[in-house]
Structure 1
Amino acid sequence: MCASVLSACGGSDSSDTDAGGPEKSQDRGPITLASGKDTTGTLQGQLDRWNKQHPDQKVTLVELPESADQQRQQFIQNAQTKSDTYSVLNLDPIWVAEFAANQWIDELPAKEFPLDKMIPAVVKTGEYFGKQYAVPFNTNAGLLFYRKDLLDKAGAQPPTTWDELKQACEKVRKLPEGKGIGCYAGQFDKYEGLTVNFSEAVASAGGSVVDDKGKATVDTEAAKKGLQFLADGFKDGTIPQQASTYKEEDGRRDFQSGKLLFHRQWPYQWTLANAKDGSSEVAGKFGVAALPGLDGPGKSSLGGLDLAVSKFAKNKATALDFIKFFSNEANARTNLKVTSAAPPYTDLYDDPALRKQFPYLATLKESLDTATPRPVVVHYGDATAAIQESAAAALSGSKSVDDALADMQKNLSAAVAAK
């Protein structure tokens, strides 16, 4: 294996790589797994298990930045230079169409994976024109983490609507222990998380960002109501101003330190916020509910991570076998137990022992069943940039909601139509 994965293994020409896909390849040997920053600290342990069993086909973890936008940028730079630095890519599902269309990843042999045991909508995130280009490693749906101890003391219930959320916050803020607490936060920095949170707000108001015919649809009353909820939240103090720079970890840290009443977050927060090592002040004090919406329960964006093989990788037979190992049900069960990551396997949500350990699993399954994908667009970078630019302007107050959505409709339409 190379002494330095980044410096010594990169930049090969495509003629040096296996010309076929992983299904046809017989090439075996060391590979890399390129993945976003492992905030759980558990990936290396899984790689160690593989490496112990495959000493001649070791996998080296290449950690990319925590920010999804920066991860995508590095993945694309690697692909455009036809580098073999990254073998297996741990991708945000929304990038699969873009990477497949640009021939940066290989088609995978769908029949060799237990896809029939996975949630159908999650499996579909790895498809492009009916072919499987990626396999789910985990999945994700946004959930509402809430301070159960404070709601109970205030005589309030977990909210199912935005109005109920604000009313519950007002009650809690009247308590001595609730004075000055931040009411609600999500991921509102100008990055992929803002696209996710905006899309959820629109869907939770009954709208869509891009319809099933591929047309931009943010020039609607539902889209206006969704963005208005977020903009008004910053304006009236429901959402603290510091949340304008929140990514996942920023909000998680503030929720764990007791600064937030409600937090829109992925399931991984459960284990970290329940830590008994002193790192969390809210361990045992919070609950999880579905996201609230305009008139009832809201809708989450579908998240997660999908595994793909780089078109330019060497040792593709090893890469294919590793994905089979890394995405299997046993690993998914372990990931849930250790990190509370949402598994793609349907049966795990009905497992009595897991439900006892993770009482939110039924809520998570319901959220996954109603989750909506972000716009499936080949030029996804342009699409998400259009969303982020206009949404950020509305949240900061530099543009009215109407003007922000008008600009978004124009720029998003151009991104969707681009060939």
Structure 2
Amino acid sequence: MKTRKTAATCAPFLTLALLATAACGLPGTDEETPGGSSAGYQGRGPITYVTGEDTTGVVQKQLDRWNKEHPDEPVTFIELPEAVDEQRRLMIQNAKTKSDAYTVLSLDVVWTAEFAANQWIERLPAEEFPLEEMLEPVVETARYKDGLYGVPLISDGGILFYRTDLLQAAGISEPPTTWADMRNACDAVLALPQAKGMSCYAGQFDEYEGLTVNFSEAVASAGGIVFDHRGQPHVDTPEAREGLDFLVGLFRDGLVPEGALTYTEEDGRQAFQQGKLVFIRQWPYLYAAANATDGSSKVAGKFDVTTLPGLTRTGSSSLGGRNLALSSYAKNQATAIDFIKFITNEDNARKNLEIGSNAPVYETLYDEPSAFTSHPYLPVLRESIIYAMPRPHVAEYGKVTSAVQKEVHAALRGDKTSEQALADLQQALQSHTKRHP
């Protein structure tokens, strides 16, 4: 774990793990502030901001602006590893020790319910944030039961990148909308001399959170669901089997690259940029990298994006993104609330898009001419987000996603049939969700 210290923040503030009281009854909880008003939040002074690796440098620039304007309330950047599973582990470890070392947490949207159910984060004053200006599905990821426990920072939706030059050479004028369309397009493209050595498709197939995303998308794109609104699993179904069979079939038929069972986002990005793939399911951050003209990409100007394909029609993305939450054990919570307002405002959202290609949570940013010119994929991305299906919204999310990864990966490896893997997964998920949060 890396830390970046401001000049006004002393080291003990980060290194001491002072114990706080339990979440129940703390300022900002329902008992003390029934309406979610910020009046119950106490304390001003130094705080920390905890998130994954700042690969674009945009986070530090935003913190520098805050620190210049708030010299008595500096924010120290605690930079966690890039791997999301490790970020979650460290945040939970901090919460279980009731340490005040972490103040504002950047949570993957699917962790919000888990952290709220365990009282590791505070309920926030919904009326003090411009939620009505944000995309509704994004705001819903920040709610738990009847309260707001996070403020959307960035969103994300899966999209399909495809080689326009190769589809055109194969006589295909439109991108695929169904899995069958995509397979047929691959048959035509891979028969071309210029496609020698290429593979059809890649996603995120290693045994990690990306696999849960890809599986959830496949199930939803076949008309199924992983969990219902009551938090009950529904994976031992014909629709879920159709979705898993699609993924298994890609491996069985040799349509994915050798070694794709260990693919993460970065592995797929590199393969697409090197011209080894016709299609890839990816997050929009790939767009800028694949269009680089510095020699790092062989496909610059030769690709486009569309929504994910499905069984019989356009498919569904899993909803990605980040919500900012307030640790229940943090000091200086009044400063933290003001900082969350600052870092999630529309101006910073615009900078996140311009510099980091991060999907904005504000509706208006998708219509700004300058944004569309520099990020022409925004209409596709907005559609992906609006119609996205959330990943399992359950308190025991860590156990749920681990079970999904274990059983789905076994099916992809050929160690289990889709039918057996889903039956085992249904049983495992039921054991983890007997008590709905």
How much has 1:23 moved relative to structure 2? 4.5
Secondary structure, aligned partner of 1:292: coil
CA distance in 1, matches of 2:239, 2:314: 15
User: What is the correspondence of 1:182-221 to structure 2 with a 5 Å cutoff?
Assistant: 182-221=199-238
Using the TM superposition, name which of 37-46 and 285-294 deviates more.
37-46
Q: Deviations over 1:129-181 (max 9, x none)?
A: 11001000011110001122222222223111111111111222122221111
Using the TM superposition, name which of 217-226 and 357-366 deviates more.
357-366
Secondary structure, aligned partner of 1:213: coil
Identity %: 56
CA distance in 2, matches of 1:239, 1:198: 16
Cα distance, 1:321–1:230 mapped onto 2, change above 3 Å: same
> 1:314 aligns to what?
331
The answer to whether the Cα contact below 8 Å between 1:271 and 1:338 also exists between their aligned partners in 2 is: no
CA distance in 2, matches of 1:214, 1:397: 29
Q: Which amino acid aligns with 2:11?
A: A
CA distance in 2, matches of 1:147, 1:40: 26
Cα distance, 1:16–1:204 mapped onto 2, change above 3 Å: closer
Question: Are 1:128 and 2:135 an aligned pair?
Answer: no
> 2:251 aligns to what?
234
How much has 1:353 moved relative to structure 2? 2.5
CA distance in 1, matches of 2:22, 2:384: 45
Question: Are 1:47 and 2:63 an aligned pair?
Answer: yes
CA distance in 2, matches of 1:170, 1:128: 46
User: What is the correspondence of 1:15-30 to structure 2 with a 5 Å cutoff?
Assistant: 15=21, 19-21=26-28, 23-30=39-46
How much has 1:19 moved relative to structure 2? 4.3
> 2:5 aligns to what?
none
User: What is the correspondence of 1:249-398 to structure 2 with a 5 Å cutoff?
Assistant: 249-398=266-415
The answer to whether the Cα contact below 8 Å between 1:23 and 1:108 also exists between their aligned partners in 2 is: no
How much has 1:4 moved relative to structure 2? 7.4
CA distance in 2, matches of 1:47, 1:253: 31
Q: Which amino acid aligns with 1:365?
A: R
Cα distance, 1:281–1:4 mapped onto 2, change above 3 Å: farther
How much has 1:388 moved relative to structure 2? 0.9
Cα distance, 1:102–1:285 mapped onto 2, change above 3 Å: same
Secondary structure, aligned partner of 1:89: strand
Secondary structure, aligned partner of 1:341: coil
Q: Which amino acid aligns with 1:20?
A: P
Give the TM-score of the pair, scaled to structure 1.
0.95
1:400 to 414, 417, 420: 417
Number of aligned residue pairs: 417
Give the TM-score of the pair, scaled to structure 2.
0.92
User: What is the correspondence of 1:102-121 to structure 2 with a 5 Å cutoff?
Assistant: 102-121=118-137
Structure 2 residue ranges without an equivalent (≥5): 1-8, 29-37
The answer to whether the Cα contact below 8 Å between 1:234 and 1:241 also exists between their aligned partners in 2 is: no
User: What is the correspondence of 1:133-152 to structure 2 with a 5 Å cutoff?
Assistant: 133-152=149-168
How much has 1:366 moved relative to structure 2? 1.2
Structure 1 residue ranges without an equivalent (≥5): none
> 2:34 aligns to what?
none
User: What is the correspondence of 1:86-105 to structure 2 with a 5 Å cutoff?
Assistant: 86-105=102-121
CA distance in 2, matches of 1:101, 1:66: 25
CA distance in 2, matches of 1:69, 1:20: 29
The answer to whether the Cα contact below 8 Å between 2:268 and 2:280 also exists between their aligned partners in 1 is: yes
> 1:31 aligns to what?
47
Question: Are 1:61 and 2:67 an aligned pair?
Answer: no
How much has 1:277 moved relative to structure 2? 2.7
CA distance in 2, matches of 1:94, 1:376: 6
Cα distance, 1:290–1:16 mapped onto 2, change above 3 Å: closer
The answer to whether the Cα contact below 8 Å between 1:23 and 1:320 also exists between their aligned partners in 2 is: no
Q: Deviations over 1:79-127 (max 9, x none)?
A: 0011112111000111111111111001110100000001111111111
> 1:3 aligns to what?
11
Using the TM superposition, name which of 271-280 and 105-114 deviates more.
271-280
RMSD: 1.8
How much has 1:182 moved relative to structure 2? 2.1
Cα distance, 1:43–1:276 mapped onto 2, change above 3 Å: farther
CA distance in 2, matches of 1:204, 1:40: 32
Q: Which amino acid aligns with 2:65?
A: R
